[in-house]
């Protein structure tokens, strides 16, 4: 079997080349071809010796994801369904804005965490994505969006993808090693060269992994909070039973010692009649009292079969006001791409293998007792 070069971060690629007697600068050259210029043909790598190119052709390949569909919404949001083999597929979403282009990347086929309000969670869990499959989403989007001619910069001279958020399908910190290698590539100047502040890992609260990330590769951190009390959060985010709020808040504080931004972002999905009372907002204030943070409120995005409803605009505004009055920067996430089911929590992809999905509680159980 050939190795897929998209599976390597810089260190991995250097090691692989060193085993073949190649110098470290070859890794830098290769990274640039692979990621900056999005090349998938060794023949185009003109500054790499012919002998090495021949050897690469023998032993390696550059295998990006295969798009099964490519859908655009009127607001410019674009969604790709990417084949990851075995009948499974994951989704990647590009969200252009006036000032930036954000790519929302998936990290697992399905998700084992089973949050009550999340469509991905309802699909069950199949497997972790490989590093190649994670970074491949950025690689693919850059190529399709025409950003590979000069290092991620499009014709207009602006960075087409300026921000990456690991907020697609899956729990990034439950796929730690592969996500870490992908993050390193996103930051690597020879690859995507993104600023740490513009790469965001979103987690439902895997506390030990938050601590590891702080040491290994601190990037912007978003935590899916969704409830001010353990009783409610246990229901909405079952992982809370393993890492309750007190533990999670302590991890957020520790993270800030190394974080590239001086705040944590708390995501809070607003569910009508469940967690959207003004009293809930006040309880949140008490909870985050000593953590520099911003809030990003996400009005619930419905999906088939979901029991929840989105609160009225007025209720959302009142909730936001309580937080703002306490001087916490609070944004309401604009619903983008919902016409193509690309909004938060609507990514379902295609997750097969119900053999694994059935004992999902076991997967969750093993996660929680790990």
Which residues belong to the active site? 91, 344
Q: Which is nearer to ligand SAH, 119 or 131 (CB)?
A: 119
Strand partners, 69: 81
Rounded to a whole number of angstroms, the minimum distance from the CB of residue 225 to ligand SAH is: 8
Binding flag, residue 300, ligand SAH (CB under 6 A): yes
Binding flag, residue 311, ligand SAH (CB under 6 A): no
Q: How far is CA 97 from the centre of its chain?
A: 18
Q: Which is nearer to ligand SAH, 126 or 203 (CB)?
A: 203
Rounded to a whole number of angstroms, the minimum distance from the CB of residue 68 to ligand SAH is: 21
What's phi and psi for 319, nearest 5 deg? -65, -45
Running DSSP on this structure, what letter comes out for residue 36?
Answer: I
Select from 121, 135, 206, 238 the least CA-distant residue to 169: 121
Binding flag, residue 106, ligand SAH (CB under 6 A): no
Binding flag, residue 298, ligand SAH (CB under 6 A): yes
* Angstrom distance (rounded) from CA 142 to CA 154: 9
Q: Which is nearer to ligand SAH, 180 or 298 (CB)?
A: 298
Rounded to a whole number of angstroms, the minimum distance from the CB of residue 230 to ligand SAH is: 17
Among 88, 102, 128, 202, binds ligand SAH (CB under 6 A): 202
Strand partners, 166: 201
* Angstrom distance (rounded) from CA 137 to CA 142: 9
Binding flag, residue 345, ligand SAH (CB under 6 A): yes
Q: Which is nearer to ligand SAH, 52 or 165 (CB)?
A: 165
x/- letters, 203..232, toward ligand SAH (CB under 6 A): xx-------------------x--------
On the CB side of 230, CA atoms within 13 Å amount to 10
Binding flag, residue 319, ligand SAH (CB under 6 A): no
Q: Which is nearer to ligand SAH, 126 or 202 (CB)?
A: 202
What's the token pair of residue 186? 């996103």
* Angstrom distance (rounded) from CA 59 to CA 4: 9
* Angstrom distance (rounded) from CA 53 to CA 42: 6
**Which residue is at the shortest CB distance from ligand SAH?**
345
Which of these ranges, 30-38, 89-97, 180-188, 294-302, lies near ligand SAH under the rule CB under 6 A?
A: 294-302
**Binders of ligand SAH among 252-281, rule CB under 6 A?**
267, 269
Q: Which is nearer to ligand SAH, 42 or 255 (CB)?
A: 255
Please check whether residue 202 is in contact with residue 167, taking contact to mean a CB–CB distance below 8 angstroms: yes
Angle, alpha carbons 37-40-45 (nearest 5°):
65
In the numeric block, the tokens 């469940």 are attached to: 274
Q: What SS3 state is found at 260?
A: coil
**Binders of ligand SAH among 168-187, rule CB under 6 A?**
171
Which of these ranges, 22-30, 53-61, 113-121, 256-264, lies near ligand SAH under the rule CB under 6 A?
A: 113-121
Binding flag, residue 167, ligand SAH (CB under 6 A): yes
Q: Which residues of 153-162 are buried (b: 16+ CB within 10 A; e: fewer)?
A: ebeeeebbbb
- Strand bridging mode 101-104 / 89-96: antiparallel
Q: Which positions touch ligand SAH (CB under 6 A)?
A: 115, 117-119, 167, 171, 202-204, 224, 267, 269, 298, 300-301, 344-345
């Amino acid at each position: 079997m050939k190795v897929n070069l998209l599976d390597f971060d810089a260190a991995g690629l250097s090691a692989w080349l060193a085993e073949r007697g190649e110098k470290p600068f070859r890794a830098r050259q290769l990274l640039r071809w692979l990621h900056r210029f999005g090349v998938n043909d060794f023949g185009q790598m003109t500054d790499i010796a012919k002998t090495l190119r021949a050897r690469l052709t023998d032993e390696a390949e550059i295998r990006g994801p295969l798009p099964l569909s490519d859908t655009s919404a009127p607001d410019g949001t674009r969604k790709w369904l990417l084949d990851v083999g075995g009948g499974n597929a994951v989704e990647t979403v590009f969200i252009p804005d006036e000032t930036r282009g954000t790519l929302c990347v998936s990290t697992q086929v399905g998700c084992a965490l089973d949050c009550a309000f999340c469509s991905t969670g309802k699909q069950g869990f199949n497997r972790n994505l490989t590093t190649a499959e994670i970074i491949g989403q950025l690689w693919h989007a850059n190529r399709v969006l025409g950003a590979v001619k000069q290092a991620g910069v499009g014709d207009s001279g602006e960075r087409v993808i300026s921000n990456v958020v690991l907020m697609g399908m899956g729990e990034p910190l439950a796929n730690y090693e592969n996500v870490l290698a992908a993050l390193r590539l996103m930051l690597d100047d020879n690859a995507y060269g993104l600023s740490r502040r513009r790469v965001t890992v979103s987690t439902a609260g895997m506390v030990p992994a938050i601590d590891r990330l702080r040491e290994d590769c601190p990037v912007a951190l978003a935590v899916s909070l969704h409830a001010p009390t353990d009783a409610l959060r246990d229901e909405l985010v079952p992982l809370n039973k393993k890492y309750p709020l007190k533990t999670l808040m302590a991890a957020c504080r520790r993270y800030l010692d190394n974080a590239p931004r001086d705040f944590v972002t708390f995501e809070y999905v607003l569910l009508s009649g469940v967690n959207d009372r003004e009293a809930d907002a006040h309880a949140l204030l008490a909870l985050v009292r000593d953590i520099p943070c911003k809030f990003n409120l996400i009005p619930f995005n419905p999906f088939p079969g979901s029991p929840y409803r989105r609160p009225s605009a007025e209720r959302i505004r009142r909730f936001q006001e309580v937080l703002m009055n306490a001087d916490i920067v609070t944004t309401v996430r604009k619903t983008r791409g919902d016409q193509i089911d690309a909004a938060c929590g609507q990514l379902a992809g295609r997750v097969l293998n119900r053999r694994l999905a059935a004992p999902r509680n076991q997967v969750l159980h093993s996660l929680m007792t790990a």
